[in-house]
Each structure stands twice: as structure tokens, then as C-alpha cells.
Amino acid sequence: MTPAQRSRAIFAGLACAVLVSSLASVYAKHKSRKLFVELQALVVERDRLEMDWGRLQIEQSTQANHARVERLARERLAMRTPTGDDVKLVAR
């Protein structure tokens, strides 16, 4: 191989390497942007779920309030506190 042919082969190899490197760089940038968009969507979803969780916790504490449960038991189920005559002790 003559020095001119060797130089052309080296130049062609370097040109191919630069082309492959630039394509890899473009692909990596595209992939990075795509993942960033996905991350942003997941962050929005996480924030929405955290807001829902907070609302559910408030609703649970409201629904489980002792006074509310007692009031509903009296109104809807006609329950009452037992009197002394209603209580029976059973000995074993």
C-alpha cells in the first residue's frame, strides 16, 4: 500500500469514526430529551397522587371521628348506651 493510499484509508476511517460518533451523540441527546419528558410527566403524576392521598387522609379522619360514629349509630341504627339493667355479668 502506498503512502497516499494509506493516508486515504486513515482519512476514510477517521471520517467514518466521526460520522458514527456524531450519530451516537444525536441519538443520546434524543434519548435524554425523551427520558426527561417522561420524568416530567411522572413528577406531575406523583404530585397529583400526593394531593389525592392528602385528601383521602383528611376524609378518613373525618369519617372515623368518634363523635360522628356515635351520632350515626344513634340516628341510623337506633343504638344507645346500655343502662345498668342492660348489663349482665356472667361468672365462669
Residue 16 domain boundaries:
3-79
Q: Please check whether residue 85 lies inside any domain of the structure.
A: no
Say if residues 62 and 68 touch (Cβ distance below 8 Å): yes
In this prediction the pTM is 0.57
Q: How far apart, in whole angstroms, are the C-alpha atoms of residue 77 and residue 92?
A: 32
Q: How far apart, in whole angstroms, are the C-alpha atoms of residue 60 and residue 58?
A: 5
Q: How many domains does the chain have?
A: 1
Q: Please check whether residue 69 lies inside any domain of the structure.
A: yes
Q: What pLDDT digit, counting tens, does each position of 4-51 carry? A: 999 999 999 999 999 999 999 999 999 999 999 999 999 999 999 999
Amino acid sitting at position 87: V
Predicted confidence (pLDDT) at residue 63 exceeds the cutoff of 90: no
Q: How far apart, in whole angstroms, are the C-alpha atoms of residue 88 and residue 92?
A: 13
Q: Please check whether residue 88 lies inside any domain of the structure.
A: no
Q: Please check whether residue 84 lies inside any domain of the structure.
A: no
